[in-house]
């Protein structure tokens, strides 16, 4: 139960941050990506703030003997860039650039009821199911 509460609190802080910063609105993201037009630097400030908070927090938390809800920290061990990672990152970036949405803001915006965001979330779920099926057929090494 404790892990569910921790996950909920983290998700709530993330959702509030996205909402307060205006990053749930795809127009803000698309304005950031429009370098030749009416460029808006807001997303860079939001990302910079998030990276700064993470950098300070991660350093402090990783100094603990163990996490709040677990026996040990589970950090990534793979350091190699493989084709699956690069293709996935490219697909994410293209989708983000075309729609102005990524999963976090889409799920927060889903509550608002915009039809465009509902379609995006439905397509995202289909993509996740497709990846899960693909991963069963051709698992990562």
Closest C-alpha to 43, from 55, 31, 52:
31
- Secondary structure (3-state) at 58: helix
Q: What is the band of 51 on the pLDDT scale with cuts at 50, 70, 90?
A: very high
Radius of gyration of the chain (CA): 18
Instruction: Identify which of 62, 63, 127 has the alpha carbon closest to the alpha carbon of residue 99.
Output: 127
pLDDT at 48 over 80: yes
Average pLDDT, the chain: 89
- What is the reported pTM? 0.75
* Cβ contacts of 107 within 8 Å, gap of 6 or more: 15, 121
- Answer whether 72's CB lies under 8 Å from 78's CB: no
**For position 62, what pLDDT does the model report?**
92
Q: What's the rounded Cα separation, in Å, for the pair 43 and 40?
A: 8
Query: pLDDT of 80-115, one tens digit each?
Result: 898 888 998 999 999 999 999 989 889 988 887 788
Cβ atoms of 34 and 97 within 8 Å: the answer is no
Domain boundaries, the chain: 2-137
- The residue-averaged pLDDT of 16-21 equals 89
Q: How far apart are CA 105 and CA 31, in angstroms?
A: 16
| Residue 18 burial (CB count, 10 A) | 19
């Amino acid at each position: 139960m404790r892990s569910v509460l921790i996950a909920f609190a983290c998700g709530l802080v993330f959702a509030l941050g996205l909402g307060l910063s205006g990053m749930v609105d795809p127009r803000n993201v698309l304005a950031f990506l429009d370098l030749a037009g009416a460029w808006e630097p807001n997303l860079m400030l939001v990302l910079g703030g998030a990276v700064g908070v993470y950098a300070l927090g991660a350093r402090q938390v990783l100094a603990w003997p163990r996490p709040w809800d677990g026996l040990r920290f589970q950090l990534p061990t793979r350091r190699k860039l493989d084709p699956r990672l690069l293709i996935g990152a490219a697909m994410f970036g293209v989708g983000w650039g075309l729609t102005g949405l990524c999963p976090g803001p889409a799920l927060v915006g889903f509550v608002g009821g915009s039809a465009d965001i509902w379609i995006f979330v439905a397509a995202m779920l289909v993509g996740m199911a497709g990846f899960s099926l693909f991963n069963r057929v051709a698992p990562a090494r």
